[in-house]
Structure 1
Amino acid sequence: MTARVELDTTDRVITVRLNAPPLNAFDTEMRRALAEAVTSIADDPDGHAVVLYGGPRCFAAGADVKQLAGFGFEEIVGWNRALQETFTRFAQLPVPVIAAITGYALGGGMELALAADFRVAATGAVLGLPEVQLGIMPGSGGTQRLARLVGPARAKELMMTGRRVPAGEAADLGIVDRIADDPYAAALEFARELAAGPRFAIQAVKEAVDRGLDSPLADGLALERSLIAGLFATGDRDVGMASFLRNGPGKATFGEPA
């Protein structure tokens, strides 16, 4: 891993720490470091949850505008595709991903946070997609993921004005799931809770919801049937049901024999 992104694993939770202060701007080096990180995580059987964190002062304030200003059409097509695909790979990880947001999550920073399954923000955090103020638009998933969270009209308003949204309003809109004085500690606590659960069942829930959102209802229901049937072949199913029958609900310790 390069110094721009650091990985740390504790209690089956992998922290992805952006490390390019003061703003964790997305330039080519940062994008490549994130791509390396998500590849490493996807290949790690011991990681059961992921926390995205930019440090105590700033999550990520977006792309390096100085670098963007030097791009023409040919350069931006390949560069943006690579960044978009990197964020999508985080979204497609088969484990829960939680963004711990401090300071600013703007432009590409907010788009990375939107690729997570959950967002925990500091009380003073500010989010936004201000690309329109540069004469461009969000290009790393923002137009699609934000609209799915808040609906098309509200998403258009936020992106067409480029206004910055404080954490409280972001929570009211459903962009942020939790607000905490220490979002990293809160995200870690939630991630540990999820990481201690039945890995394949949690993976199946994520797949059913994410794929089902973009499918006709009948296709989503078919996917749900297939996934639940597959879970009956897992050891976690054996552990969970044996524990319930022996000790009642909520007593199972997954990852151990039934």
Structure 2
Amino acid sequence: MAYENIIFETEGDVAVIKFNRPKALNAINIDVVKDIQKALDEVESNPSVRVLILTGEGDKAFVAGADISMMVNLAPLQLREFSSALHELGFRMEGLPIPIIACVNGFALGGGTEIAMASDFIYASEDAKFGQPEISLGVIPGFGGTQRLPRLVGKGMAKELCMTGALISAQEAKEIGLVNKVFPADKLWEETMKTAKLLAS
């Protein structure tokens, strides 16, 4: 199946979904969500796939949040539908019968951090950045961040990140329990695939 907003491929028993909007720092819009859901259909219908990796195309961003240029043009009902679609995606990811590794190769902001948190493991490059900066727009994390973040880092740290909108480095994210492992950028994919192959074996 052809996709416009993601790249979907399989390497043996490992499936890979790449967010493919590098000019927009892989920001999420409703079309991205639809493409991911279709790719997950492919994953679930292929019994040979035993692990899924999510990553971003390019070297700047995993997912730099929701596509604000799209959101400002949505009516209130459309915004609600977009939020619901993101929640459904997160729940589906958590319920997927195979492990998901988020291979964070750059900015993971807002919805990007939330997508990573819906995965089972988060591996990050040394130059990756994480954060829930929605407060700067006068809104709260809308894709499960207020639920998943406290479970991973504790209530106090989650409040600080959400209320200040602060960005943290990959190493800081590892220290607070958000990220599993941090690697040099040129080793991230190799190490992620190594773990994926181990999980699939």
- Per-residue deviation at 1:3? 2.5
Kept in 2, the 8 Å contact 1:120–1:177? The answer is yes
Higher Rg of the two aligned structures? 1
Kept in 2, the 8 Å contact 1:111–1:142? The answer is yes
Q: Give 2:105's match in structure 1, choosing from 98, 102, 105.
A: 102
Q: CA RMSD in A?
A: 1.2
| C-alpha separation in 1, matches of 2:51 and 2:103 | 13
- 1:218 matched residue in structure 2: none
Q: Normalization by structure 1: what TM-score?
A: 0.73
| C-alpha separation in 2, matches of 1:172 and 1:49 | 26
| C-alpha separation in 2, matches of 1:92 and 1:165 | 28
Q: Deviating runs (4+, > 2 A) in structure 1?
A: 70-73
Counterpart code for 2:93: F
Q: Give 1:41's match in structure 2, choosing from 43, 49, 66.
A: 43
- 1:134 matched residue in structure 2: 137
Structure having the higher strand fraction is 2
| C-alpha separation in 1, matches of 2:106 and 2:30 | 22
SS state at 2:28 partner: coil
- Per-residue deviation at 1:183? 1.8
| C-alpha separation in 1, matches of 2:69 and 2:177 | 32
Mapped pair 1:5 → 2:6: yes
| C-alpha separation in 2, matches of 1:44 and 1:139 | 31
Identity, % of aligned positions: 36
Counterpart code for 1:43: S
- Per-residue deviation at 1:41? 1.2
Counterpart code for 2:128: A
Mark the runs of 5 or more structure 2 residues left unpaired by the alignment.
Answer: none
Q: Normalization by structure 2: what TM-score?
A: 0.93
- Per-residue deviation at 1:116? 0.6
- Per-residue deviation at 1:83? 1.4
| C-alpha separation in 2, matches of 1:87 and 1:33 | 14
Mark the runs of 5 or more structure 1 residues left unpaired by the alignment.
Answer: 197-258
Kept in 2, the 8 Å contact 1:53–1:184? The answer is no
- 2:62 matched residue in structure 1: 59
Counterpart code for 1:151: G
SS state at 2:123 partner: strand
Mapped pair 1:73 → 2:72: no
Kept in 2, the 8 Å contact 1:38–1:86? The answer is no
| Segment drifting more, 93-102 vs 180-189 | 180-189
